[in-house]
Amino acid sequence: MTDTLTRNRIETLAPTDHISLEPPTADKRGYIEFLLDLLVGAGRVEDRETALQALLAREEETTTGVGMGIGIPHAQTDAVTEPSVAVTRSDDGVDFGAMDDEPARLLFMILVPESGADDHLAILSTLSRALMHDEVRQNLYDAETPDDVQAVLKEAVA
């Protein structure tokens, strides 16, 4: 069984400059690039193109639209310097090809270095477990600032 994340880890994984509540109107690919650019802007990604190809290859395998209005594009790549999470939201929802056909309204990107398989799974499972709760999703919809989003995530993983 994978470990869970602690509250403190959220601050390292997803500092507020990884969180944007002002995404452009875009399709799935556009959202993936937007989330990636948050991590690029924060200095977490050394090679944008390699990271993007890893993310798209993962989507090619099967979609990261996990249902319940959530998309979690993710990849393990050495294009990233440390485990990182980016967050954004789509008011209208973006088609992530989820099995339940629900468009994704909450979007999380996870990038972890190649050596961090356990960490990768821990972040993915912890986020998923938190997001299954209606209240957590609602609080994320209601969040007005990146600080609010981070606070909800910290509370949700605790």
Burial of 53 (0-12, 13-18, 19+ CB in 10 A): middle
The answer to whether 71 and 105 are in contact (CB under 8 A) is: no
- Contact residue for another protein among 19, 35, 66, 112 (CB under 8 A): 66
* Closest by CA position to 138, among listed 152, 125, 126, 128: 152
Q: Which stretch binds another protein (CB under 8 A): 32-40, 78-86, 92-100, 147-155?
A: 92-100
- Does residue number 29 form part of the binding site for another protein (CB under 8 A)? no
Residue among 25 and 115 whose Cβ is closer to another protein: 115
Decide: is 80 part of the binding site for another protein (CB under 8 A). no
84 binds another protein (CB under 8 A): no
* Residues sharing a CB contact under 8 Å with residue 53, sequence separation 6 or more, in sequence order: none
Interface with another protein, residue 139, by CB under 8 A: no
Give CA–CA dist 19/44, Å, rounded.
Answer: 13
Does residue 26 belong to the site contacting another protein (CB under 8 A)?
A: no
Per CB under 8 A, does 128 bind another protein? yes
Stretch that binds another protein, among 11-19, 28-36, 116-124, 144-152 (CB under 8 A): 116-124
74 is a catalytic site residue? yes
Establish if 2 lies at the interface with another protein (CB under 8 A). Answer: yes
Q: For tokens 């996990």, what's the residue?
A: 66
As a whole number of angstroms, the distance between CA 109 and CA 44 comes to 12
The residues that are catalytic are 74
